């Protein structure tokens, strides 16, 4: 089937070109529409069809990059690597291949699929393809290496490629290098790289600094992380919301008052806490058994200029279920539906089991009906199994399930 889809994809490309030559636009959808559909499409065959219908008249390579990456992710997850290769290689005959940003999307896509050897081959083909090679494609190659989880290769590439092609690494290059060290667990090398950047007057971006900070906390090196934070603050570095959130993430398992202090510190620094910030505070209250305070943080999100996300609802519903408050959990679930931020299957299963335990049968049935309309089709069977196990299945619900499919 995949071979047939590849052929159909290539035929589409040919038809598009012929239609363009004839002055007739091909049947297509916009890039934004394709991205929207791909986010909720888990079937790799359908994802490939959606991507094949994307208009070829986009204004820049970046505009189609995410649609391409979504498609590659779906194919790679299904281990359809031959399809990934066919899809990416087909773009090398596109006239835009001489544009470096366009070729970079191909290198990155190979990285997303974990096919670094193909990414490296594409990088080496740039001369024959007539594509200029700058630090832009160098960074794409380094990113592909990280995405392929070949972290140990990045430091060597960082030295060898600039020497071979006379390129100068920029702040993004160094950021990717720091990321590779962090992912490999070499936090000391990551910090050393930050110092090298300062010596060479290369900007240490907030993202790069946050990467190192996050690694130190995750490795249990909180004292080193706080020391690094203090040093940067003294040097006048502007630390963004994401950096502050990393500190809160580390503090959320402890005293909620500490998380509150960090939020106040952020506000005093002229920054506005975001949903993630308040989620950490809410989580800290939940873990401390202070559910009333947690619910209060949730209720005041909009007042604080934030919108709840899926993690907000997942965390609160999960802890409400742990405390046996399934009725409030169901109320929060209804809000998540309105926000289109329904939590994951596991959280919803715990809630529906709790509703049945609390004899709230109609609420349990209503929950399953609603999530079956929102969850991917590959989970419909799992929900049907839950219905059977909890005694919620009936002729009516079976009929409703058939209609929803």
Neighbouring residues of 41: CB distance < 8 A, sequence distance ≥ 6: 47, 50, 74
Q: What percent of the chain has pLDDT over 70?
A: 86
Report the C-alpha gap between 312 and 294 in whole angstroms. Answer: 10
Using one digit for the tens of pLDDT, what is the confidence trace for 116-135?
A: 999 999 999 999 999 999 99
What pLDDT is stored for residue 59 in this prediction? 53
- Which fold would CATH assign to domain 32-169? 1.25.40
Using one digit for the tens of pLDDT, what is the confidence trace for 322-377?
A: 999 999 999 999 999 999 899 999 999 999 999 999 999 999 999 998 888 877 66
Prediction pTM value = 0.77
Q: Evaluate if residue 1 carries a pLDDT over 50.
A: no
Q: Evaluate if residue 20 carries a pLDDT over 50.
A: no
Q: Evaluate if residue 91 carries a pLDDT over 60.
A: yes
Q: Where are the domains of the chain?
A: 32-169, 186-237, 240-307, 309-391
Q: What share of the chain is helix, strand, coil (3-state, %, to 5)?
A: 75, 0, 25
Report the C-alpha gap between 347 and 139 in whole angstroms. Answer: 39
**Higher-scoring residue by pLDDT: 381, 262:** 262
Phi-psi region of 360 (alpha: psi -120 to 50; beta: other; left: phi over 0): beta
**Higher-scoring residue by pLDDT: 300, 405:** 300
Question: DSSP character for 25?
Answer: P
């Amino acid at each position: 089937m995949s071979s047939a889809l590849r052929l159909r994809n290539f035929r589409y490309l040919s038809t598009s070109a012929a239609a363009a030559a004839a002055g007739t636009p091909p049947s297509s959808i916009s890039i934004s529409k394709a991205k929207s559909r791909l986010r909720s499409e888990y079937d790799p065959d359908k994802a490939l069809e959606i991507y094949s219908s994307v208009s070829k008249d986009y204004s820049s390579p970046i505009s189609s990059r995410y649609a391409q990456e979504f498609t590659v992710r779906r194919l790679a997850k299904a281990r359809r690597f031959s399809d990934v290769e066919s899809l990416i290689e087909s773009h090398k005959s596109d006239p835009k291949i001489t544009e470096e940003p366009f070729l970079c999307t191909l290198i990155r896509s190979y990285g997303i699929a974990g096919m670094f050897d193909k990414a490296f081959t594409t990088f080496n083909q740039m001369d024959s393809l007539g594509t200029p090679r700058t630090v832009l494609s160098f960074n794409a190659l380094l990113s592909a290496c990280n995405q392929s989880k070949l972290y140990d290769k990045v430091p060597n590439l960082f030295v060898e490629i600039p020497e071979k092609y006379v390129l100068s690494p920029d702040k993004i290059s160094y950021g990717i290098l720091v990321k590779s060290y962090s992912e490999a667990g070499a936090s000391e090398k990551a910090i050393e790289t930050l110092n090298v950047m300062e010596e060479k007057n290369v900007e240490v971006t907030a993202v790069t600094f946050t990467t190192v900070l996050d690694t130190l906390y995750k490795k249990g090196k909180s004292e080193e992380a706080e020391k690094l934070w203090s040093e940067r603050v003294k040097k006048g570095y502007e630390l963004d919301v994401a950096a502050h959130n990393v500190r809160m993430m580390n503090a959320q398992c402890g005293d909620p008052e500490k998380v509150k202090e960090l939020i106040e510190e952020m506000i005093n620094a002229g920054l506005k806490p975001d949903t993630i910030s308040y989620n950490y505070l809410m989580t800290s209250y939940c873990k401390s058994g202070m559910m009333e305070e947690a619910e209060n943080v949730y209720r005041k999100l909009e007042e604080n200029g934030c919108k709840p996300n899926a993690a907000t609802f997942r965390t609160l519903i999960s802890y409400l279920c742990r405390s046996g408050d399934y009725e409030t959990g169901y109320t929060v679930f209804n809000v998540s539906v309105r926000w289109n931020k329904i939590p994951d299957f596991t959280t919803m299963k715990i809630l529906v089991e709790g509703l049945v335990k609390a004899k709230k049968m109609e609420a349990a049935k209503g929950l399953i009906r609603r999530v079956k309309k929102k969850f991917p089709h590959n989970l419909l069977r799992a929900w049907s199994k839950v219905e059977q196990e909890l005694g919620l299945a009936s002729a009516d619900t079976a009929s409703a399930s058939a209609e929803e499919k």
